[in-house]
């Protein structure tokens, strides 16, 4: 559609210049003004003439009327002036002879913008905390992050995905103490991450105590944990070994989930990796005179920027969250030379990112404006906050298992002869969850309703995957046939389907601009709807007219390419059969 808009813009510009030779207007500006009419019956594209009325000193109605006269281009079927709008209808021949062949030629590369050529982007996402449960609260960063990665790759960016594991901090002191006190090698080997989580929860409860039950807080246990973490920091071999073991157990578990989602990372450098890189940045801050001692802690005052101060060092001199993020950013800039660094985290961390981004700027790093925080809304479960303590939490692996089970149940009933059923059930089950999550704007809080997430009716993952399978099924029937070489678009459903596909690149660019995967999800829905309407209105494989049949089969093939391409942008697996 970008090509079409450009052609129409040039035709309009030519017209404008013929009446007003001195009009300061470019084809790009006109293309930017072109919009989609609210109702398809008005046309495919509209040019509002209101803004031109000032420079041309004529009424919009007159301008539209003038422009509509003999506006010609290969892609224009008709141009009609209505209430100050120039409504343009795209030529069916152009759709059949230019758009469709382009999709068939480029296949899944169709619609790929080239804005990322020669550019590099680092994405920081997923980043679970070791030995803490990997639950549906982590779905956002994981799925949005990976989708942004795919979008950038599609646009030609070189990408580097980092899983910034929460693998350092006093929680490991706690875990080590708990392990020695209540755990055992055998129990952890058998129970895996669940056992680690259990130990972690247990020691936290012991430290906090329970006033209601009259159990006092255990300060000694807290002190012991701090001491063990201190030993770990000092390089105590025994503790280090335990730590490595805990990390690897957790990673193994996470990778199972990542595999189901088809997600891989280029790096698992976690917080621990940056511990020795912080002192240099702290020194730099000190040298620049940015550090201020306040109540014993070292802070960077940000009151000039209407923000609370950013804490760099605790009273005891140890580092904090922002310190590590700054050091990590400096390292990544030097190591990867990114043009953009994207951080996908919950919107609860907005202030934190705004603060340390500002500190990086104050430190004089000229790449501070290449740092981008992509926040997403808070996830609650069935209306209540997620909380490990109250048990209102669903692990990602359990959620996926639930969805897969449900799909299997349906398949047993509807398609019992399907080969590779387990694999397909996983693709559809996991896909349902991913699609449900990525349907809405990322910034909105989401109440994760299990019933809705596992619903397969309407705008859902199974609906679009079913549509994909249906297209594949038609193509399977005709795969070895020679088709008529001619193509012609004869009905509205065919034309609409092509017009939707022609919008793909624009939608990809919007998704990139806004860091918003849901733009792609919505596009997939639009395309699935258009294809299903086409499918019902037109015979495809059973059509007797040779040219029509060839066109429709190719239309189906094109849909398969574009749908498949868009699926991969939102971590949705392609299902040839369902």
User: Are the C-beta atoms of residues 262 and 430 closer than 8 Å to each other?
Assistant: no
- The closest of 535, 550, 540 to 468, measured between CA atoms, is 535
170-182 and 237-261 helices, crossing angle to 10°: 100
- In this chain, which of 518, 551, 559, 565 binds RNA, going by CB under 7 A? 518
- In this chain, which of 440, 488, 490, 568 binds RNA, going by CB under 7 A? 440
Shortest distance in whole angstroms from residue 175 CB to RNA: 14
Contacts of 305 (CB under 8 A, 6+ apart): 358
- In this chain, which of 522, 548, 560, 573 binds RNA, going by CB under 7 A? 522
Closer to RNA at the Cβ: 159 or 357?
357
**37 touches RNA (CB under 7 A):** yes
- The closest of 491, 497, 477 to 559, measured between CA atoms, is 497
**450 touches RNA (CB under 7 A):** no
237-261 and 219-233 helices, crossing angle to 10°: 90
Segment lying near RNA (by CB under 7 A), choices 65-73, 182-190, 195-203, 535-543: 535-543
Closer to RNA at the Cβ: 189 or 315?
315
**62 touches RNA (CB under 7 A):** no
Number of residues this chain uses to bind RNA (CB under 7 A): 93
Site string for RNA, 76-115 (x = CB under 7 A): ------xxxx-x----------------------------
Shortest distance in whole angstroms from residue 12 CB to RNA: 14
**352 touches RNA (CB under 7 A):** yes
**389 touches RNA (CB under 7 A):** no
Regarding beta strands 158-162 and 291-294, do their DSSP bridges make them parallel or antiparallel, or are they unpaired? unpaired
Site string for RNA, 202-241 (x = CB under 7 A): ----------------------------------------
Contacts of 448 (CB under 8 A, 6+ apart): 136, 379, 380, 381, 382, 394
In Å, how far are 120, 326, 347 from 130, measured between CA atoms?
29, 21, 21
**479 touches RNA (CB under 7 A):** no
Shortest distance in whole angstroms from residue 441 CB to RNA: 3
Shortest distance in whole angstroms from residue 21 CB to RNA: 23
Contacts of 125 (CB under 8 A, 6+ apart): 141, 142, 144, 145, 146, 148, 149, 161, 162, 163, 342, 343, 344
Shortest distance in whole angstroms from residue 318 CB to RNA: 7
Closer to RNA at the Cβ: 106 or 533?
533
Give the footprint of RNA on residues 452-471 (CB under 7 A).
452, 455-459, 462-463, 466-467, 469-470
Shortest distance in whole angstroms from residue 113 CB to RNA: 15
**351 touches RNA (CB under 7 A):** yes
**577 touches RNA (CB under 7 A):** yes
Site string for RNA, 292-331 (x = CB under 7 A): --xxxx-x------x-xx-x--xxx-x-xx--x-------
Residue 123: beta bridge partners? 161, 342
- In this chain, which of 20, 98, 120, 410 binds RNA, going by CB under 7 A? 410
- In this chain, which of 68, 126, 129, 272 binds RNA, going by CB under 7 A? 129
Segment lying near RNA (by CB under 7 A), choices 188-196, 242-250, 388-396, 446-454: 446-454
In Å, how far are 302, 421, 478, 565, 568 from 573, measured between CA atoms?
46, 14, 24, 10, 7
User: Are the C-beta atoms of residues 427 and 564 closer than 8 Å to each other?
Assistant: no
Q: How far apart are CA 96 and CA 115, in angstroms?
A: 27
Q: How far apart are CA 424 and CA 404, in angstroms?
A: 9
Residue 387: beta bridge partners? 392
Shortest distance in whole angstroms from residue 101 CB to RNA: 22
Regarding beta strands 85-90 and 45-48, do their DSSP bridges make them parallel or antiparallel, or are they unpaired? antiparallel
Helix H or strand E encompassing 419: none
Q: Quickly list DSSP for 351-397.
A: HHHHHHHHHHHHTT-TTGGGEEEEEEPPEEETTEE-BTTTTB--BHH
User: Are the C-beta atoms of residues 372 and 364 closer than 8 Å to each other?
Assistant: no
Which residue has tokens 């299990």? 450
Segment lying near RNA (by CB under 7 A), choices 179-187, 191-199, 357-365, 441-449: 441-449
Closer to RNA at the Cβ: 18 or 542?
542
Give the footprint of RNA on residues 135-174 (CB under 7 A).
166, 169-170
**181 touches RNA (CB under 7 A):** no
**403 touches RNA (CB under 7 A):** no
Q: How far apart are CA 185 and CA 340, in angstroms?
A: 43
């Amino acid at each position: 559609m970008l090509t079409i808009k450009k052609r129409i813009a040039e035709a309009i510009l030519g017209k404008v210049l013929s009446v007003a030779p001195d009009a300061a207007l470019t084809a790009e500006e006109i293309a930017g003004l072109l919009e989609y009419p609210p109702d398809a019956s008005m046309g495919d594209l509209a040019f509002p003439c209101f803004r031109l009325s000032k420079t041309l000193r004529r009424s919009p109605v007159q301008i539209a009327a003038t422009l509509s006269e003999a506006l010609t281009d290969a892609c224009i079927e008709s141009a009609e002036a209505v209430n100050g709008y120039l409504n343009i209808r795209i030529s069916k021949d152009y759709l059949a002879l230019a758009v469709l062949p382009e999709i068939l030629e480029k296949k899944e590369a169709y619609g790929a913008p080239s804005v990322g050529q020669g550019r590099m982007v680092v994405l920081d996402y997923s980043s679970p905390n070791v030995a803490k449960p990997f639950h549906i609260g982590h779905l956002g960063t994981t799925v949005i992050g990976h989708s942004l990665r795919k979008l950038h790759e599609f646009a030609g960016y070189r990408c580097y995905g980092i899983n910034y594991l929460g693998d350092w901090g006093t929680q490991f002191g706690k875990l080590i103490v708990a392990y020695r006190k209540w755990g055992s090698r055998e129990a952890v080997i058998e129970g895996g991450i669940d056992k680690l989580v259990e130990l972690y929860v247990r020691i936290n409860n012991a430290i906090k105590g329970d006033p209601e039950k009259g159990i006092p807080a255990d300060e000694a246990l807290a002190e012991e944990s701090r001491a063990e973490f201190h030993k770990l920091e000092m390089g105590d071999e025994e503790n280090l070994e335990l730590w490595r073991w805990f990390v690897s157990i957790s990673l193994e578990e996470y990778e199972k989930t990542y595999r189901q989602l088809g997600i891989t990372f280029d790096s698992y450098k976690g917080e621990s990796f940056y511990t020795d890189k912080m002192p240099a940045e702290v020194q730099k801050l000190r040298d620049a005179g940015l550090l201020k001692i306040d109540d014993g802690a070292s802070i960077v005052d940000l009151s000039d920027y209407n923000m609370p101060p950013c804490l760099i060092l605790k009273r005891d001199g140890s580092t904090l969250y922002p310190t590590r993020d700054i050091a990590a950013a400096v390292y990544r800039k030097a190591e990867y030379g990114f043009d953009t660094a994207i951080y996908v985290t919950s919107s609860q961390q907005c202030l934190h990112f705004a603060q340390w981004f500002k500190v990086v700027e104050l430190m004089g790093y000229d790449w501070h404006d290449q740092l981008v925080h992509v926040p997403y809304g808070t996830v609650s479960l069935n209306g209540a906050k997620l909380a490990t303590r109250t048990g209102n939490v669903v692990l990602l692996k359990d959620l996926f298992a639930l969805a897969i089970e449900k799909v299997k149940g349906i398949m047993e009933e509807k398609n019992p002869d399907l080969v590779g059923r387990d694999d397909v059930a996983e693709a559809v089950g996991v896909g349902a969850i991913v699609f449900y999550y990525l349907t809405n704007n990322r910034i909105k809080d989401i109440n994760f309703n299990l019933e809705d997430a596992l619903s397969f009716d309407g705008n859902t993952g199974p609906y679009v995957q079913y549509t994909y399978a249906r297209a594949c099924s038609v193509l399977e029937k005709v795969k070895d046939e020679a088709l008529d070489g001619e193509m012609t678009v004869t009905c509205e459903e065919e034309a609409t389907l092509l017009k939707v596909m022609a919008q793909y690149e624009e939608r990809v660019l919007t998704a990139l601009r806004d860091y918003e995967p849901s733009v792609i999800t919505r596009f997939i829905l639009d395309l699935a709807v258009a294809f299903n309407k086409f499918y019902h209105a037109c015979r495809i494989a059973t059509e007797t007219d040779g040219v029509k049949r060839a066109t429709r089969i190719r239309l189906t093939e094109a849909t398969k390419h574009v749908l498949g391409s868009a699926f991969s942008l939102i971590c949705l697996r392609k299902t040839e059969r369902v």
